[in-house]
Amino acid sequence: MPGIEKNNKMASFLISFYLSAICTLLIIKLGKKHFATLDSDLASVQKVHLEAVPRIGGIGIFIAVLMTGGYTMWREPMIGKWIALLMLCSSVAFGGGIVEDITKNVSATRRLLLTMLAALFGFFLLDARIEHIDWVGSLWRLDPIWIGLPLTVLAVAGIANAVNIIDGFNGLASAVSICMLLSLGYVALQVGDMFVLVAALMVAGATAGFFVFNYPAGLIFLGDGGAYFLGFMLGELSILLVMRNPQVSTWYAALLLIYPVFETLFSVYRRLFLRGHSPSMPDGIHLHSLIFRRVVRWAVGRRDARALMHRNALTSPYLWLISLMAVIPATLLWRQTWALISFCGLFVFSYIWLYARIVRFRAPRWMIFGKRK
């Protein structure tokens, strides 16, 4: 019966995928008729599209996960109960983002506070709390309230915000999230954590259903609701996996999530200390923005929608590969603390080296795609 059980778990991915694809298609059709749901601010420093596009893709993902969770509750009540609690917590983070997508009137600070509130609910309802940190040959235990609580809340909110920050190009945040969720599912399978496995597969399937319409053509955008929902789920599931299963090193989660997290930390450092600006002020010099402007060159000089769409689509695969530099070793070495720490250091070094090369117009030759127009 293990084979049947695995098939049941895989059904979570497929059901969520089809539900998300159907919901996303309906949103695309209906969203174009409602101006409030469109991303029509085409002059912003971070915008790289020329047509108004629905930015409420997170609704399809959330509905698909919610409905698949209902199916799971019917088939496996114990797992379904935990998924229901997880969705209850996530709805707070998702709600703040989706209201911003529609009204454009929820500040970044309020969205962050709502995500922190969602993490607080997860801390008490799901026991999703950081209680220890692995080190080579030792274990650092943390006070559950004075250190564990604020660390957990800040970590989950930070990860959600980080996913929102990398959501700059078609397929970027969604594909990176799918890879991370599948890694979480794989490691959960190795240690027999069926709750994390099913939850990760559900969210990965729903995100894949959205991805087929988001990449490469950008028919719909993830939006703040989708980004905060995915980031919250990644944060919660990572904490639950490593804390419920001591054989999984806490550095597995650190390496798995290092691309969006370090992108955020580096952006704060760059804006605050190098440019003297507020960390919340948007700019166009994230790594993904630099790759778009200085590496993907074949459409430079043209601003028609077709050229911009192709250039947009060519940007994301570079970042997928950068993310996989962390996701693959994290997945293979999930219990080897010393190796995971080493790869974290290697990723940080590689990121800074690559960023410095590109920002000085010295991108490695192997990255240059096509010719200047």
pLDDT for 306: 64
Contact 184, 253 (CB under 8 A): no
pLDDT in 10s for each residue of the chain, 373 residues: 344 455 567 789 999 999 999 999 999 988 666 554 555 454 444 445 456 788 889 999 999 999 999 999 888 999 999 999 999 999 999 999 999 998 888 888 899 999 999 999 999 999 999 999 999 888 999 999 999 999 999 999 999 999 999 998 999 999 999 999 999 999 999 999 999 999 999 999 999 999 999 998 888 999 999 999 999 999 999 999 999 999 999 999 999 999 999 999 998 888 777 666 666 666 678 888 888 888 886 544 455 556 677 777 889 999 999 999 999 999 999 999 999 999 999 999 999 999 999 988 888 887 776 554 4
Give a yes or no: residue 185 inside a domain: yes
Give a yes or no: residue 239 inside a domain: yes
pLDDT for 367: 78
pLDDT for 38: 55
Cα angle 121, 143, 231 (rounded to 5 degrees) comes to: 40
pLDDT for 138: 87
Give a yes or no: residue 45 inside a domain: yes
Give a yes or no: residue 110 inside a domain: yes
Give a yes or no: residue 372 inside a domain: no
Give a yes or no: residue 128 inside a domain: yes
Domain count, the chain: 1
Which has the closest alpha carbon to 198: 6, 12, 7?
A: 12
pLDDT for 312: 79
Give the list of residues 6+ apart from residue 367 with CB closer than 8 angstroms, or none. Answer: 291, 295, 318
Give the list of residues 6+ apart from residue 173 with CB closer than 8 angstroms, or none. Answer: 163, 164, 166, 167, 222, 227, 230, 260
pLDDT for 43: 45
Q: Peptide bond preceding 216: is omega within 30 degrees of 0, i.e. cis?
A: yes
Q: Which domain holds residue 351?
A: 2-367
Structure tokens, 288: 């993904």
Q: What pTM did the predictor assign? A: 0.92
pLDDT for 242: 98
Give a yes or no: residue 373 inside a domain: no
Cα 223 to the center of its chain, rounded Å: 12
